[in-house]
Amino acid sequence: MNVVSRLLNEMGLILILGYVAAAILGLEALYAVVRFLRLFVLPKAGFRYNLSKLGQWAIVTGSTDGIGKGYAKALARRGLNVYLISRNYSKLQDVEKEIKAINDKIDVKILAIDFSKLSDIYSQIESEIANLDIGVLVNNVGVSCAYPEYYLDIDKQVTQNIVNVNIVSINEMTRVVLPKMVAKKKGAIINIASISAETPTPLLAVYAASKSYVDSVTLAFQKEYQSKGIIIQSVLPAFVCSNMSKIRRSSLFAPSADTFATSALNTVGIANRTHGYWPHELQACITNLLPRSAKISLYFSQLSGLRVKALKYLTKQK
């Protein structure tokens, strides 16, 4: 009898634990649905943060291609004046014309800066924007390797450029604009990381690590300055059509830069950390179910294949 009672008690405990687990899973599912609606459905219905109340100007680094250019155009559509900072002056002029064609009521300024060079460039930027009311900064500028490669086979200057462009620019551009945002108690800084920030990525090791830094420092800065009225957001895109990704044709999981940037900009003021675009959010949810070691092995296998293809292509070009 005692044995039967004990079994019933244990079965009751297991049943209770089952109910608790089901309740937790149900709450997590409900949270995911609510988050999805807030990030990707309600903004399309007009429920989005009014960025123009943060200031008259938006700065976008790395704005002549890809996600940066997409953000610049999306900000112009939202009525902000846009300050484009990138390396190639000719391309900046072309993007300036495109943006003016989107919204001829805004002002557009351009500044040619090579973020791989550290000599006084941030003093120059600070001087150029000194008299502007900056409401939004998009830290987008970034570089990677030409193709996946083993660390010792990558030129030292390439890895140094990744550090200078992907990491130092985040720190220094934030230092340039944040003081005035704090003084007026409003502003938004959007830092473009990458989905690769979530997992160590063999053959793109330094790039992925640099984006992990971007994600980490962004969340830390947000905690430090949220009480000052500042929004600091980390965006972790997966593949997007751009020169860097070398993807030319858009698809559901590799959208055009304009599609991605418009979607991601709608999440500002709603989420401090986002993948910006619902298929990328779904992709992250699925891959994050895998153990980290499995993801590392999967990425190594995939990138090894891309490396072989790249090397074959380069051999044919010789």
Taking only the tens place, the pLDDT of each residue in 120-169 is 999 999 999 999 999 999 999 999 999 999 999 999 999 999 999 999 99
Q: Is residue 318 scored above 70 in pLDDT?
A: yes
Choosing from 83, 207, 225, 299, the catalytic residue is 207
Burial of 140 (0-12, 13-18, 19+ CB in 10 A): buried
> What is the arithmetic mean of pLDDT over 81-87?
99
How sure is the predictor about 6, in pLDDT bands with cuts at 50, 70 and 90? Answer: low
pTM of the model: 0.90
Domain spans, the chain? 1-47, 49-317
> What is the arithmetic mean of pLDDT over 96-111?
98
CA atoms of 79 and 186, how far apart (whole Å)? 17
Can 151 be counted among the known catalytic residues?
no
Q: Is residue 10 scored above 90 in pLDDT?
A: no
Is the CB of residue 260 less than 8 Å from the CB of residue 247?
no
Q: Kindly give, in sequence order, each residue whose CB lies less than 8 Å from that of residue 120, ignoring residues fewer than 6 positions away.
A: none
The CATH code that applies to domain 49-317 is 3.40.50.720
The whole-number pLDDT of residue 41 equals: 84
Is the CB of residue 163 less than 8 Å from the CB of residue 207?
no
CA atoms of 64 and 70, how far apart (whole Å)? 9
Q: Is residue 4 scored above 70 in pLDDT?
A: no
Taking only the tens place, the pLDDT of each residue in 89-101 is 999 999 999 999 9
Count CB neighbours of 7 within 10 A: 10
Rg (CA), the chain: 23
Is the CB of residue 271 less than 8 Å from the CB of residue 35?
yes
Q: Is residue 283 scored above 90 in pLDDT?
A: yes
Taking only the tens place, the pLDDT of each residue in 242-264 is 888 888 899 999 999 999 999 99
SS (H, E, C) the chain: CHHHHHHHHHHHHHHHHHHHHHHHHHHHHHHHHHHHHHHHHHHHHCCCCCHHHHCCEEEEECCCCHHHHHHHHHHHHCCCEEEEEECCHHHHHHHHHHHHHHCCCCCEEEEECCCCCCCCHHHHHHHHCCCCCEEEEEECCCCCCCCCCCHHHCCHHHHHHHHHHHHHHHHHHHHHHHHHHHHHCCEEEEEECCHHHHCCCCCCHHHHHHHHHHHHHHHHHHHHHHHHCEEEEEECCCCCCECCCCECCCCCCCCCHHHHHHHHHCCCCCCCEECCCHHHHHHHHHHCCCCHHHHHHHHHHHHHHHHHHHHHHHHHHC
Taking only the tens place, the pLDDT of each residue in 170-229 is 999 999 999 999 999 999 999 999 999 999 999 999 999 999 999 999 999 999 999 999
